[in-house]
Amino acid sequence: MTVCWLDNGLIRLGFVPALGGRLLSVRIGATELLWRNPLLLTDDLLPVGGHVFGPNDGRMGDWVNYGGDKTWPAPQGWAGPGQWAGPPDPVLDSGPYTVDATAGAVTMTSGDDQRTGLRLTRRFSLADRGYRLDLTAKNVSDRPVRWALWNVTQFAGGGEVFVALRDHPAPVVDLVAGTGNPRYELTGGGALVPNQDVVGKLGFPGAAGSLSYTAGGWRSMFSFAVDSAATYPDHGSPVEVWLEHPLPAPLAALGDLDPPARIVECEVLGPLTDLAPGAQTSLIIDADFAELSSDTVEET
């Protein structure tokens, strides 16, 4: 199994193309900033014990959550061919991606997915203490399709998310209430989602183009373009935040989802795009990671 590393002396990124083209490690010095499942992966991104990597399908309770950063198509759903019925998904989420590693960049490309008609490409290039992620979804089928790019980054729970907001009549919406709707507070030009034990998701139709996750003395920041004239999935949400924590029993209402840990997902979405055969849509996300001073940590 191939593990790829990008390192510029300040930040080190680790990728496993065979696991759905995932970014599974962001390290600055001895600090790991992403969540990954320690029951499945070592610090070197190799399988634990006798675990075998391979495409995974079924209900949400069957999903093998390795963690890290991955790209999916949106909208999610199980009502018909215009919705992505995952995770799990044996091609885009857990299938092998090809990889092209050059100086300062790693590009991973999925197989052709018959269900969605898409081929996904994820290109990471280093930038000081961060990276640029260039995403592309290409329609490789012989039919028109309509999808949005949806990038999901998982962090260990215990911190807080801040989503910058623009003027909008409904800047935040409840999307999923597994055990309840996550709490949030409108403050300082945005929405603050505090640490809390809940399984649920918020959407941010008023997202202005940046969000951050602060935990353990570090702030992980993401910047991206928002097209106010475009249509986004999930009530118009360019940003979504998912929270989960371990439960005494799987959630039957969510396909027997069984959260493995306290996890926070920071999710960035592109606009819904009608794609003729051969057409593609793209999304660029800039990530930056900063260590906070003790004074800043106390203030937040």
Residue 127 has pLDDT above 70, yes or no: yes
Residue 298 has pLDDT above 70, yes or no: no
Residue 105 has pLDDT above 50, yes or no: yes
**How far apart (Å, rounded) are the C-alpha atoms in residues 11 and 13?**
7
Which residue do the tokens 């959550």 mark?
65
| Beta bridge mates, 207 | 165
Residue 295 has pLDDT above 60, yes or no: no
For 22-52, give one letter per residue: b (16+ CB within 10 A) or e: bbbbbbbeeebbbbbbeebbeeebeeeeeee
**How far apart (Å, rounded) are the C-alpha atoms in residues 81 and 106?**
31
Which residue do the tokens 């979804």 mark?
137
| Beta bridge mates, 288 | 130, 221
Determine the topology of domain 4-299 in CATH: Beta-galactosidase; Chain A, domain 5 (2.70.98)
pLDDT average, residue stretch 24-37: 97
Better-scored residue on pLDDT, 262 or 2 = 262
pLDDT average, residue stretch 153-164: 98
Spatial CB neighbours of 259, under 8 Å, sequence gap ≥ 6: 199, 244, 245, 246, 247
Residue 222 has pLDDT above 90, yes or no: yes
User: What type of residue is 265?
Assistant: E
CB 156 within 8 A of CB 38: no
Q: Cα 193 to chain center, whole Å?
A: 17
Task: Quickly state the pLDDT bin for 103 (edges 50, 70, 90).
Answer: confident
Helix locations, the chain, DSSP H: 233-236, 294-299
| Per-domain boundaries in the chain | 4-299
Q: Which two tokens stand for residue 126?
A: 């280093």
CB 19 within 8 A of CB 27: no
**How far apart (Å, rounded) are the C-alpha atoms in residues 272 and 36?**
29
CB 82 within 8 A of CB 50: no
Task: Quickly state the pLDDT bin for 294 (edges 50, 70, 90).
Answer: low
**What is the structure's pLDDT at 1?**
72
SS3 111: coil
Span 177-219, pLDDT tens digits:
999 999 999 999 999 999 999 999 999 999 999 999 999 999 9
Residue 220 main-chain phi, psi, to 5 deg: -105, 120
Residue 8 main-chain phi, psi, to 5 deg: -115, 15
Whole-angstrom CA distances from 168 to 44, 152, 162, 190, 206 are: 44, 24, 17, 11, 5
CB 295 within 8 A of CB 270: no
Span 37-92, pLDDT tens digits:
999 999 999 999 989 999 999 999 999 999 999 999 999 999 999 999 999 999 99
What sign does the dihedral 79-83-87-90 (CA atoms) show? positive
**How far apart (Å, rounded) are the C-alpha atoms in residues 48 and 258?**
20
**How far apart (Å, rounded) are the C-alpha atoms in residues 9 and 28?**
9
**What is the structure's pLDDT at 297?**
47
Percent of the chain's residues with pLDDT above 90: 94
Kindly report the average pLDDT of the chain as a whole number: 96
Q: Which two tokens stand for residue 300?
A: 């937040």
**How far apart (Å, rounded) are the C-alpha atoms in residues 118 and 130?**
28
Span 241-284, pLDDT tens digits:
999 999 999 999 999 999 999 999 999 999 999 999 999 999 99
SS3 148: strand
Output DSSP code: residue 62.
G
